[in-house]
Amino acid sequence: MIRQKVDIEANGKIRCDACPVLCYIKDGRAGACDRYANEGGELVRVDAFTVIEKRKQSGGEVVAFMPGDEVPSWDGSLINKNDTFVTAIGASTTYPDYKPAPFIVGQEHDGVDMVTVVTEGIFSYCGAKIKIDTDRHVGPERALVRVEGEPVGHVTTGEYGSQMLSLGGVNHLTGGSKKEGRITCDSLMKLCNREPVEMSIDDGVDLIVQAGKAPIVNGVEETLMRVGCGSATIGMFATQWEPHVDEVVVVDDHITGVLSEHQAGKLLGMQPTGIKVRGRKSTPGRYFQVAEPGMGWGGTDIDDPLTILDDFKPNQAKPGLRILMVSTTGEQYAFYELDENLKPVEAPLPDALRPSVERVAENCEPSLCSVLFMGGAGGSLRAGVTQNPVGLTRSVKNSLTHVSCGGAPAYVWPGGGITVMVDVMQLPSNAFGYVPTPALVAPIEFTMRQTDYTAMGGHIDSITPLSSLTSQVDRCVEVDAPNTWPMDKRQFHW
């Protein structure tokens, strides 16, 4: 734990200056954020100050953070300083912003003098992008996402095989009611710390979202992400279907595929079957808008796949014609034969077709929720790195400075500022906190050569050797992710 001497008020309280709230904290109690406490007149950082080390048994490769991966029986020593990285987790903040970052760490790596500036940023301008692997329709685009009845974000544009949510942002954190801001902040912190959050979508479903876990939609846990759209599925499995069936329809909310009309079917010599699909024809064998979005077959609102078929053309169809209908996850399928009136009659799935249906499901990825934290490193945070904040921005844009969050690689968006995005599954557990302004507290590290740090006007006098930090480090975590090591030279344009 990190301690800081502060003035003790006459009533025994101390004032915490780690954020704009400036709590007065009684002895033995924590502040409003639960991150700082009063211990005998000292301001105590409750969360563990964390370093990471490369997993020794991995041959030096960096592997993903997982809960419980702390080094067993750690005695507080930095085992291998060349393979040790000081994260911003538990490091405290730069507030009130005029002062240098809490830790500016100097160490040598591969013969180069390096500097890592670590701080826990107070992010009022932040949010989370959520990817939900499901075929189900979760709600209309732009529909509000609510937690405890309060709006915390919205449904955004769907992507290939996934539904997408955009949560948080300054308008929900500070632009609405006090309750809306509080619940938005609490939801973001839980999601970023890989905890489950229950939410509902206007004119849509109830969801439970947790990073790295399958989504739960209306009380049902999802299992599979679709293999592709209906047309793609036709292309992948056409050769496995052609010998055993006359027609295949892959039902999909986006692009429903019809094998005999599809180019794959034509190249395999399949004959027209007289099938007619309700929907808007795009190109041969590819249909849009065959049904409304929903919780049924292929993300549509239908439970009976025959509802998307019109009467067969009598000049092409014939009794006994064999038809397989299947969803894009292989979870729903049915086999039909045309009777004397050219009406589909359901029949048992032939054994010859079963392996191909099972293969559709086999090729689907497990359904997961992905949570990406996104925030902007503002001018005040940058002032903790250098006396001329624009120097840091330019150094990041020129790839002279590497940005990480809790040691995990952060994607830096092009354009102005330092807007970062990071997969929360790549960070150590409990890496995020909050302050009740409201804002999320997230770790961020800037790593560069010491010569570049000097050139940008960095706080050179505040550099602390890595070897001197042993007594202040509370937690050592072995890295677990296909993360590149934060000090790897390949990440810098030197």
pLDDT by residue (tens digit) across 174-232?
999 999 999 999 999 999 999 999 999 999 999 999 999 999 999 999 999 999 999 99
Q: What is the pLDDT of residue 82?
A: 61
Domain boundaries, the chain: 50-124+378-491, 126-225, 230-362
Please identify which residue in the block is written with the tokens 């092009």: 414
In sequence order, the β-bridge partners of residue 165 are 130, 155
3-state secondary structure of 6: coil
The segments of the chain whose pLDDT lies below 70 read: 1-11, 55-82, 379, 480-483
Query: What distance in Å separates the CA atoms of residue 171 and residue 127, rounded to the nearest whole number?
Result: 10
DSSP 30: B
Q: Is 393 helix (H, G, I), strand (E, B) or coil?
A: helix
- Can you read off the two tokens belonging to residue 482? 């296909």
DSSP codes, 90-101: T----TTTTSPP
Beta-bridge partner residues of 249: 258, 325
pLDDT of residue 53: 83
Beta carbons within 8 Å of 376's beta carbon, 6+ residues apart: 123, 125, 126, 417, 418, 419, 420
The pLDDT of residue 61 is 44
> What would the two tokens of residue 356 be?
């191909």
pTM of the model: 0.87
Q: Which two tokens stand for residue 177?
A: 């009611």
The pLDDT value given to residue 80: 57
User: What's the DSSP call for residue 428?
Assistant: P
Site of tokens 């010998």: 243
117 contacts: CB under 8 Å, gap ≥ 6: 101, 103, 104, 105, 384, 385, 445, 446, 447, 453, 458
22-72 per-position pLDDT tens digit: 888 888 888 888 778 888 888 877 778 888 887 654 444 444 444 445 444
d(CA 307, CA 6): 72
How open is the CA angle 287-290-292, to the nearest 5 degrees?
Answer: 140
Q: Smallest Cα–Cα separation from 310: which of 355, 249, 252?
A: 249
Q: DSSP letters along 239-272, please? A: HHHTTT-SEEEEE-SS-EEETTTSHHHHHTTPPP
> CA 80 → CA 20, 40, 51, 103, 466, distances in Å?
38, 35, 12, 19, 11
* pLDDT tens readout for residues 59-78: 444 444 444 454 444 455 55
Burial 177-191 (b: 16+ CB within 10 A, else e): eeebbbbbbbbbbbb
Predicted local distance difference test score (pLDDT) of residue 379: 67
End-to-end Cα spacing for the chain: 36
Contact 321, 273 (CB under 8 A): yes
**Nearest residue to 94 (alpha-carbon basis) of 373, 375, 379:** 379
- One-letter amino acid of 71: V
Residue 202 in tokens: 């206007």
Q: What is the pLDDT of residue 480?
A: 57
Task: Pull the structure tokens for residue 353.
Answer: 């077709």
Of 133, 134, 153, the closest CA to residue 144 belongs to 153
